[in-house]
């Protein structure tokens, strides 16, 4: 692999997102700074006591158990040597009451404090990894801290909550055992967002004059490779009557506690029925991203007259790149109708390259996108070298309802993005933009479809203000010039994913060709392919020609097949073993040099969803037929 392209770019810059309103902000599906139709009214007497809904409320953790003894891998434990096959997952649903005390508003902003004086109690569950490790997370309790109540500031006109500091103590037998095998560990209270995490509270008016609330918070607690000189240890499930447990050294272990509380009744979602997914508890599955339905992008609401007109409901431009990759889902232990799920974005199957060296250790390549045109009314931008990766410190986690096929509440999936426009924005706003991942949230489902194929679907978005920030000229190299964004400017990044895993036995041979096709980037290309879905011992072929001038143009001929995945669109009616889509990767030659190269390809022949994506070394040459409208995953 050459040093040109996405791998060098990712290793050379600090991947960063756009500015947050505050560290505790959470992605909203609308601009929370806009006034509500009717302002919120505080409860009579400014105090309310509300029960939380058990189905919508839970505490949990995702414990990363690595062996990272080197000092350079700590305190965050970012080496890749994870033990027991994955994270230690558990969630426990909660019952109890919360008390919220509001203070008289000042300029329509009311400070509030939240407590749970009788504690919140959770079900007994099991902290479990995919391999070998299981420990009872029993006697679950959420308690108030002894010296500081949870608090925030509510804007009654917009519903926006700022300055959130949510302080609680998590207790269960596993945490207690962790303290016993690490006697120098001083268990802290959990603060959301804490040193690195997020926190959000949404208030909604009720007919009885009270305010329903929903809270979600997560944080990151690295233990490093020692605690005051003693090695970090993990309690093993071999204990005496007084919880004298055996233990092993686990340098680099980290906790990812999370908490969701809601006073709103759970939605009355219908049972998933025949589409219910048979959950493989305590295991990991790998799914192929359906690139036609998977994209990242942004609605640019920029008050910059030089770019063209926009309005509160009309973006001045919409940027989007379809993505190739895979999704890994790790399922925890069953807890009634629920199971915790950890999610991981992975590069396309067969895409082999030396791992990049990132300024932030622990970040690795995820999905890879396509070069595209970003069209404003008066200017066009070439956006290149698009990729994303998961935030390794705030792990994407959800609570899946096996009876409805849906996740509880919105799934939060934090990702770092990179492309050359973002790099230029960083340079134009040096010191004003924080290196923080995008916080995308939205509904997610797992369902069973044609021939029992499994599909994971996610549709996330968020809101980010962009007032007073500089937006680059189309010539990104001109760092001395930029457009200044005016009042009301904001962005709404979006993140859509559809990943599938067939469960039938493949028998199909996927073949096809096309000549002089024009890509969404404006390049003309041709291709021909013959790929067996069951590739073992079978012949194959793939050839691609791009007529563009410069390094992007050339011909690739595949010599070796590295990966094949055949699958169906969600509306397919093909018989078992037959498919309308294929994703494959292979090694071969590029006409411009004598070096080996790799192609990652995805082609859909679905009558209502045709699509072609071809990438040579991810960014050396890449084309796709991006759908004109944004597909709903």
DSSP letter at 264?
Answer: S
- From the list 32, 68, 105, 12, the residue with the least C-alpha distance to 427 is 12
Average pLDDT of the residues in 413-429? 89
DSSP, collapsed to helix, strand or coil, labels residue 482 as: strand
- What's the pLDDT score for residue 142? 97
User: Helix, strand, coil: what percent of the chain each, to 5?
Assistant: 5, 45, 45
Over the range 554-566, which residues count as b (16 or more CB within 10 Å of their CB) and which as e?
bbbbbeebbbbbb
Residue 26 has pLDDT above 80, yes or no: no
Is residue 284 within 8 Å of residue 328, measured between CB atoms?
yes
Average pLDDT of the residues in 603-614? 97
- For the chain, what percent of residues have pLDDT higher than 70? 92
pLDDT bin (cut points 50, 70, 90) of residue 22 is very low
The CA–CA distances, whole Å, from 142 to 82, 152, 203, 604 equal 29, 19, 21, 49
Average pLDDT of the residues in 579-601? 96
- What's the pLDDT score for residue 184? 95
Using CB atoms within 10 A of its CB, is residue 475 exposed (0-12), middle (13-18) or buried (19+)? exposed
DSSP, collapsed to helix, strand or coil, labels residue 608 as: coil
Residue 353 has pLDDT above 90, yes or no: no
- What's the pLDDT score for residue 359? 47
pLDDT bin (cut points 50, 70, 90) of residue 1 is very low
pLDDT bin (cut points 50, 70, 90) of residue 543 is very high
- What's the pLDDT score for residue 310? 60
- Average pLDDT of the chain is 90
- What's the pLDDT score for residue 313? 55
What is the reported pTM?
A: 0.92
pLDDT bin (cut points 50, 70, 90) of residue 16 is very low
Residue 146 has pLDDT above 90, yes or no: no
- Pick the more confident residue, 187 or 117: 117
Overall residue count recorded for the chain in this entry: 633
The string of DSSP codes covering 52-95 is PPGGG-EEEEEEB-B---SGGGTTTT-SS-BSTTS-EEEEEEEE
Over the range 365-389, which residues count as b (16 or more CB within 10 Å of their CB) and which as e?
bbbbbbbbebebeebebebbbbbbb
φ, ψ (nearest 5 deg) of residue 582: -140, 135
């Amino acid at each position: 692999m050459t040093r040109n392209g996405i791998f060098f770019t990712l290793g050379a810059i600090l991947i960063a997102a756009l500015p947050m309103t505050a560290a505790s902000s959470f992605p909203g599906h609308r601009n929370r700074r806009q006034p509500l139709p009717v302002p919120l009214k505080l409860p009579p007497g400014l105090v309310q006591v509300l029960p939380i809904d058990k189905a919508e409320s839970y505490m949990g953790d995702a414990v990363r158990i690595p062996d990272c003894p080197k000092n350079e891998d700590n305190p965050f434990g970012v080496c890749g040597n994870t033990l027991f096959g994955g994270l230690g997952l558990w969630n426990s649903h909660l019952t109890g009451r919360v008390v919220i005390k509001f203070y008289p508003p000042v300029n329509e902003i009311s400070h509030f404090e939240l407590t749970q004086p009788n504690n919140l109690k959770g079900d007994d569950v099991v902290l479990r990894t995919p391999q070998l490790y299981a420990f009872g997370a029993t006697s679950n309790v959420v308690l108030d801290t002894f010296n500081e109540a949870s608090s925030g500031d509510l804007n009654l006109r917009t519903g926006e909550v700022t300055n959130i500091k949510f302080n609680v103590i998590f207790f269960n037998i596993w945490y207690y055992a962790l303290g016993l095998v690490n006697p120098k560990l001083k268990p802290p209270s959990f603060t959301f967002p804490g040193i690195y995490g997020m926190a959000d509270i949404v208030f909604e008016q009720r007919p009885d004059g009270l305010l329903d609330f929903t809270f979600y918070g997560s944080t990151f607690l690295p233990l490093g490779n020692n605690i005051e000189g003693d090695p970090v240890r993990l309690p093993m499930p071999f204990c005496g009557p007084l919880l004298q447990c055996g233990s092993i050294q686990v340098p680099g272990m980290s906790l990812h506690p999370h908490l969701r509380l809601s006073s709103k009744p759970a939605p009355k979602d219908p049972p998933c029925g025949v589409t219910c997914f048979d959950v493989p508890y305590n295991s990991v599955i790998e799914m192929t991203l359906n690139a036609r339905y998977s994209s990242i992008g942004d609605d640019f609401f920029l008050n910059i007259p030089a770019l063209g007109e926009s309005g509160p409901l009309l973006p001045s431009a919409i940027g989007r790149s379809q993505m190739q990759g895979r999704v890994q889902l790790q399922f925890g232990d069953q807890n009634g109708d629920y199971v915790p799920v950890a999610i991981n974005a992975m590069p396309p199957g067969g895409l082999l390259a030396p791992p990049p060296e990132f300024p932030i250790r622990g970040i690795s390549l995820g999905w890879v996108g396509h070069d595209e045109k970003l069209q404003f009314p008066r200017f066009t931008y070439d956006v290149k070298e698009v990729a994303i990766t998961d935030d390794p410190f705030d792990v994407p986690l959800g609570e899946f309802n096996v009876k409805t096929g849906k996740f509880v509440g919105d799934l939060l999936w934090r990702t770092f993005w990179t492309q050359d426009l973002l790099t230029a924005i960083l340079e134009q706003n040096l010191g004003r933009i924080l290196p923080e991942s995008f916080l995308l949230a939205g509904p997610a489902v797992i369902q069973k479809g044609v021939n029992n194929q499994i599909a994971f679907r996610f549709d996330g978005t968020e809101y980010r203000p962009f007032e007073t920030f500089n937006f680059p000229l189309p010539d990104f190299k001109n760092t001395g010039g930029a457009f200044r964004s005016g009042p009301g400017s904001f962005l709404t990044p979006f993140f859509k994913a559809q990943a599938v895993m067939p469960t039938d036995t493949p028998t199909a041979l996927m073949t096809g060709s096309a000549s002089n096709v024009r890509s969404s980037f404006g390049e003309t290309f041709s291709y021909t392919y013959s790929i067996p879905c069951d590739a073992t011992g079978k012949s194959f072929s793939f050839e691609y020609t791009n007529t563009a001038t410069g390094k992007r143009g050339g011909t690739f001929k595949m010599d070796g097949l590295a990966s094949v995945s055949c699958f169906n669109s969600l509306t397919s009616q093909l018989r078992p073993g037959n498919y309308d889509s294929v994703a494959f990767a292979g090694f071969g030659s590029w006409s411009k040099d004598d070096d080996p190269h790799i192609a990652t390809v995805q082609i859909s022949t679905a009558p209502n969803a045709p699509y072609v994506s071809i990438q040579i070394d991810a960014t050396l040459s890449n084309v796709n037929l991006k759908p004109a409208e944004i597909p709903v995953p």
